Amino acid sequence: MAEIVYMPKLSDTMLEGVVAGWNKKVGDTIKEGEILAEIETDKATMEFESFYDGVLLHIGVETGKAAPVNSILAIIGNAGEDVTALLANAGATPITETKAVIEEVSTVVTTEATPASSPVFENKPTTSLSNSNGRVFASPLAKRLAEEKGVDINQVAGTGESGRIVKRDVDHYVPYTPAVGNGQNFSIQTGVESFIDVPNSQMRKAIAKALTTSKFSAPHFYLKMEVDMDNAIAAREVINSKGNVKVSFNDMVIKAVAASLRKHPKVNADWIGEAIRYNNHIHVGVAVAVEDGLVVPVVKFADTKGIAQLGSEIKDLAVRARDKKIKPEEMTGGTFAVSNLGMYGIEDFTSIINPPNGCILSVGQIKQTPVVKNGEIVPGNVMKLSLSCDHRVVDGAIGSEFLQTLKNLLENPVLMLV
């Protein structure tokens, strides 16, 4: 009996999904647990597994197209089944050639030979490494990207699981000409007027919606403070010189933030409309720049972890976020957020609050500058912090006390171990 596969809700904020690529085509046999398609949500591109055994009889959303959650994504059933009535009952309009495809499928699924091609839904040409049944061992997103870039996927080495070619392999392939949008390149031409319109991804749409709502509904105010990082620099040098443990200044900031939130629980709060939610747990979101925009992986129970453990977890989350392999649950539930642009040479900036959080901390670079110590001007290392606060949740005095504690911890790193 044929079963409808609906567009899944892969994140708590997902309203629609875009099919980044199909791993199967109409007429293919599929087993439960096999990857059916790659779906782009508002937060990541994720592999979607089939829940059924059978033959792919119908594809409801073409590659690159968007569809609402719970709309028909595909139909899986027995060879030769007529899905016209099923589509009609579900409120979908069957594609003209679906019946012809079903008839063709019924003649080829009894063998292990290469599956017959669909006259409607054609697989994109692939020439990469393949397994015994002739299928390319590459993700649909990698195939599509290779085609757009004009890359011979045969020449690309796979670094994914079991040697599978994934998106990063195509991105890092040399030589190639980076492509954006519909196979076009970003390049400034002298004396020529031209432009490229790149459709907004699901992630970019989500960022625009969430931050626009935050900026124009939450009354932001900003608190700024300078931190003397001399002791933090010395402490990091000692830590990194001992054994295999390597920590970054960002790791130290996250640790200090978590410890400060424990002392100032009113900053660890969310605006949920009818109430202010004071969280009894500390989950710190760490902003990570990715190809399509910005994601905020969450370090759960950050106050219970040491600096080295935090560093390892943050690095793992950031790598998987950039590779679009991070899970939706790893990007939800944050009670406070940190955005660090110091590695880009940014000295001072303010961030838009990530709703429903009440605050977000912006971290600038550590800059060597003259400072006054003991009445004398000496070289010093200063880092600027900026706390964006939702005035509905946090008042100025509460935010200031939090920043004072954070400053004290960073200037005296030994206190973070207590």
Residue 398 CA to residue 403 CA, distance in Å, equals 9
Q: What is the 3-state secondary structure (H, E, C) of 206-218?
A: HHHHHHHHHHHHC
Residue 44 CA to residue 331 CA, distance in Å, equals 10
Burial class (CB in 10 A: 0-12, 13-18, 19+), 296: buried
Q: What is the dihedral of CA 40, 44, 45, 48, to 10 degrees?
A: -90
Residue 287 CA to residue 207 CA, distance in Å, equals 12
For the chain, report the end-to-end CA distance as a whole number of angstroms.
Answer: 63
Residue 310 CA to residue 233 CA, distance in Å, equals 18
- CA–chain centroid gap for 61, Å, is 23
Are the CB atoms for 76 and 2 separated by under 8 Å? yes
Are the CB atoms for 262 and 303 separated by under 8 Å? yes
CA atoms within 13 A of residue 91's CA, in its CB half-sphere: 4
Residue 405 DSSP SS3:
helix
264 in catalytic set: no
What sections of 42-192 are H helices per DSSP?
A: 84-89, 98-105, 140-149, 167-171
Q: In this structure, are strands 293-295 and 45-49 parallel, antiparallel, or unpaired? A: unpaired
Of the listed 172, 220, 264, 391, which one is catalytic?
391
Residue 113 CA to residue 118 CA, distance in Å, equals 15
Residue 220 DSSP SS3:
strand
Residue 171 CA to residue 148 CA, distance in Å, equals 11
Burial class (CB in 10 A: 0-12, 13-18, 19+), 92: middle
Are the CB atoms for 296 and 285 separated by under 8 Å? yes
Residue 355 DSSP SS3:
coil
Active site amino acids: 391
